[in-house]
Amino acid sequence: MLGALIGAKIAVHIDESLFNKVLAIIMIAVMMIIIFKPDLDLAEKAVKLTGKYLWQGIIVFFFLGIYGGFINAGIGFLIILYLHYAHHINLVRTNATKVFVVLIYSVAALIVFILNDKVDFKIGLILAIGNASGAWISSRLSVKKGDGFIRKFLIVMIGALAIKLWFFQV
């Protein structure tokens, strides 16, 4: 949450065009990691969540919070990559964890945006309904279809988002 507060404060003051370019570059980098990172055989690897991995996770999630509060778009991809490759958590469980983490830090970031009069509540409510509906459908799909489906879906969605941000700015 602390990272999200810092990131949201940065987002309030950044130029929109620069914001879109930064996000497009980050999304391409994430997509390349997903494509070129070898698949993990998680059946042979133990989940790493204690000791030094716990402390590493706290530090990484602080910076992910800054990114999430600043940009938010694509934060799920970054959380999934980190938990899957660094902590060897399967993609279905990683996705569930991501949803909970994003919920927690989003409240902090939302407060910053509300205090800076940056929230259009009517549009926000419409988007929240669409987002919640999509999340409900996709969470069931991800549990049913598994890690391979999630990986392919992430690659397509990240590529589409990066192209939209770079070439089709409003």
Q: How far apart are CA 54 and CA 47, in angstroms?
A: 11
Per-residue pLDDT at 64: 92
Name the domain count of the chain. Answer: 1
Per-residue pLDDT at 170: 57
Q: How far apart are CA 23 and CA 13, in angstroms?
A: 15
C-alpha to C-alpha distances, 13 to 3, 50, 164, nearest whole angstrom: 16, 37, 22
Range of the domain at 107: 2-167
What confidence category does residue 41 fall into, taking pLDDT thresholds of 50, 70 and 90? low
Name the residue with tokens 């983490």.
Answer: 101
pLDDT digits (tens, 9 = 90+) for 86-109: 888 887 888 889 989 998 888 988
pLDDT digits (tens, 9 = 90+) for 111-136: 999 999 999 999 999 999 998 898 88
Pick from 36-40, 77-81, 147-151: least confident? 36-40
Q: Which among 78, 69, 73, 127 has a CA at the least distance from the CA of 98?
A: 78
